[in-house]
């Protein structure tokens, strides 16, 4: 993996940002958590009045060999079909991104079935899906490094194009299984406590998923974040982790979505702890493993809407809230004195 240096944020401006916030034409603290976000955004961007430019919703897509174990209620063909829907503009994230005034990109990190390129499509395929993590490592270390580095590269390109807010999301049948294993090792948390129904497993399916994940977890006891991604992750999760690292290194605001994106954020924070300071958590996912991520990273999400779709949908919903927080500093008048 490319060595990426993410130093702690320079907090020199923080007292001045807080003072400016307190002098606005409103009761001190009356905008609650938005005021905390305003200070965080100012510190990330190194500005008393942070003018936020473009926002980017970006979906990383990949398939998982773990689906061979029956961990999902849907076949892997659905990954490619949904990617095509993202490109065509008909998905939930497409609608939410338009409403947020953000751009949308879709990255093929390792989709098993063919996708017809279109607007916003980025080809970065590592392989046609990962191996079955229940019986062997999901990917090689070289593949994991390639995915991480590609994510960093995409983030740097976005920053260079004027993107100030990134809202990564994902698509990949079977990826709640991979995320459960990642969170189990990196939070850490008991495996059974972070396994959910994903896209709608029935009780028999949930039993199969639990058995498959315990089988996978028994292969290795590693807790090294890059090794954990190599053993259990998906190409989309590893590339999204790299993207978060790259965006954090560029001092961009990283809005973290739900469970899958949260597992990538957790890995990013274990690789480079200072990345956490650049992250704003959008929502409290209904997936059981999401709580372990939030607890481990001491994160207080902006929304609690019982979402569990993925796609970066919760992160897209939070883009206007982050802009609103910055607008307190840039657009609200000072209290007359």
- Domain definitions of the chain by residue range: 14-50+327-331, 55-325
Name residues whose C-beta falls within 8 Å of residue 245's C-beta, 6 or more positions apart in sequence.
4, 6, 148, 151, 152, 155, 268, 271, 272, 275
Three-state DSSP string of 174-228: CHHHHHHHHHHHHCCCCHHHHCCCCCCCCHHHHHHHHHHHHHHHCCCCCCCHHHH
Q: So what's the pLDDT on residue 2?
A: 66
Q: So what's the pLDDT on residue 335?
A: 85
Phi/psi at 242 (5° precision): -60, -40
Cβ proximity of 230 and 138 under 8 Å: yes
Average pLDDT of every residue of the chain = 96
Q: So what's the pLDDT on residue 212?
A: 97
- Asked if 170 is an active-site residue, the reply is no
pLDDT for residue 337 is more than 70: no
Which residues on neighbouring strands pair with residue 58, listed in sequence order? 105, 168
Whether the upstream peptide bond of residue 26 has omega within 30° of 0, thus cis, is no
Length of the chain: 337
Residue predicted with more confidence, 26 or 3: 26
CB atoms within 10 A of CB 154: 26
Q: So what's the pLDDT on residue 66?
A: 97
| Nearest residue to 189 via CA among 264, 261, 293, 286 | 293
pTM above 0.95, yes or no: yes
Query: Tens of pLDDT along 138-174?
Result: 999 999 999 999 999 999 999 999 999 999 999 999 9
Number of helical (H) and strand (E) elements in the chain, helices listed first: 12, 6
pLDDT tier for residue 126 given thresholds of 50, 70 and 90: very high
Q: So what's the pLDDT on residue 1?
A: 62
pLDDT for residue 86 is more than 80: yes
The catalytically annotated residue of 35, 236, 277, 311 is 311
Q: What percent of the chain has pLDDT over 90?
A: 96
The packing angle between helices 235-249 and 225-232, to 10°, is: 150
Q: So what's the pLDDT on residue 210?
A: 96
**55-325 maps to which CATH number?**
3.40.50.10210
Could you report how far apart the first and last alpha carbons of the chain are, in Å? 54
- Strand, helix or coil for residue 13: coil
């Amino acid at each position: 993996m490319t060595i990426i240096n993410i130093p702690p944020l320079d907090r020199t401006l923080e007292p001045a940002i807080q003072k400016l916030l307190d002098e606005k034409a409103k009761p001190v603290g009356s905008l609650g958590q938005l005021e905390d976000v305003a200070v965080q955004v100012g510190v990330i961007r190194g500005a008393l009045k942070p003018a936020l430019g473009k926002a980017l919703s970006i979906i990383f897509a990949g398939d998982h060999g773990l689906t061979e174990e029956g961990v999902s209620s849907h076949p892997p063909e659905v990954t490619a079909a949904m990617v095509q829907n993202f490109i065509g503009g008909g998905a939930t994230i497409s609608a939410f991104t338009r409403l947020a005034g953000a751009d949308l990109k879709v990255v093929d990190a390792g989709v098993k079935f063919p996708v017809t390129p279109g607007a916003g499509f980025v080809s970065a395929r590592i392989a046609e899906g990962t191996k079955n993590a229940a019986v062997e490592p999901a990917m090689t270390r070289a593949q994991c490094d390639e995915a991480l580095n590609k994510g960093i590269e995409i983030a740097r390109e976005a920053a260079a194009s004027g993107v100030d807010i990134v809202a990564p999301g994902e698509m990949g049948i079977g990826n709640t299984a991979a995320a459960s294993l990642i969170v189990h090792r990196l939070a850490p948390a008991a495996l059974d406590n972070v396994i959910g129904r994903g896209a709608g497993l029935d009780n028999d399916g949930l039993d199969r998923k639990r058995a498959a994940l315990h089988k996978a977890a028994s292969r290795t006891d590693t807790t090294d974040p890059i090794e954990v991604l190599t053993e259990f992750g998906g190409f989309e999760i590893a590339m999204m982790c790299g993207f978060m690292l790259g965006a954090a290194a560029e001092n961009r605001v990283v809005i973290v979505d739900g469970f899958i994106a949260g597992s990538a954020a957790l890995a990013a924070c274990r690789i480079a702890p200072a990345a956490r300071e650049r992250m704003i958590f959008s929502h409290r996912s209904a997936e059981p493993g999401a709580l372990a991520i939030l607890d481990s990273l001491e994160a207080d999400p902006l929304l609690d809407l019982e979402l569990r779709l993925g796609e970066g949908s919760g992160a897209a919903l939070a883009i206007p809230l982050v802009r609103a927080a910055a607008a307190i500093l840039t657009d609200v008048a000072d209290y007359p004195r």
